[in-house]
């Protein structure tokens, strides 16, 4: 294990560099582009919904695939987040609920 932690796979490094380039294209490119042109109201209205629908599209199929264990965790996390507004606490509540289902099997 001690030798493994410094391992750098060339394909993984290339993937990381490409991800970094794509991310900076968003950070810097957005600023540059919007300095030149201003997007239409329709484009702005569509982009307004991107963050929420994106994360939802990641979460829902994972819950459908994972079944009761992650679903109960998700319910516990959502309820804790709405009432406590604390990310660490909400994740902990979800892990505990998920652990409960795991133990019962």
Partner 1 sequence: MSVVESEVVFTWAGFRRGARQSVPLIAGMLPFGIVTGITGLSQGLSLAEITLMSAVVYAGASQLVALAVWTHPPDLIAVTFAAFVVNLRLALMGPVLAPWFHKFKGWRVWLSLFVMVDHNWALSVREINAGYRDAAYLLGGGTVLFVAWVAATALGAVLGAQLHLPPGHPLFFAALGAFVAVLAQMWRGMGDLLPWAVAAVVAVMVAQILPGTFWYIVAGAIAGSIVGGVRDHRRRLVS
The CB-of-53 to partner 1 minimum distance in angstroms stands at 3
The CB-of-26 to partner 1 minimum distance in angstroms stands at 4
Nearest-CA neighbor of 103 among 68, 62, 78, 76? 68
The CB-of-84 to partner 1 minimum distance in angstroms stands at 10
| CA 64 to each of CA 16, 59, 61: distance values in angstroms, whole numbers, following the listed order | 29, 9, 5
* Helix 50-66 × helix 68-84 angle, to 10°: 140
Its sign, for the CA torsion 56, 62, 65, 68, is negative
The CB-of-105 to partner 1 minimum distance in angstroms stands at 10
């Amino acid at each position: 294990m001690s030798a493994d932690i410094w391992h750098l796979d060339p394909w993984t490094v290339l993937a990381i560099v490409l991800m970094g380039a794509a991310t900076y294209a968003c950070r810097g490119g957005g600023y540059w582009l919007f300095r030149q042109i201003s997007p239409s109201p329709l484009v702005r209205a569509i982009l307004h919904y991107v963050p929420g629908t994106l994360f939802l599209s990641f979460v829902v199929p994972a819950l459908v695939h994972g079944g009761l264990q992650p679903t109960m965790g998700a319910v516990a996390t959502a309820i804790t987040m709405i009432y406590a507004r604390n990310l660490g606490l909400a994740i902990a509540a979800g892990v505990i609920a998920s652990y409960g289902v795991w133990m019962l099997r």
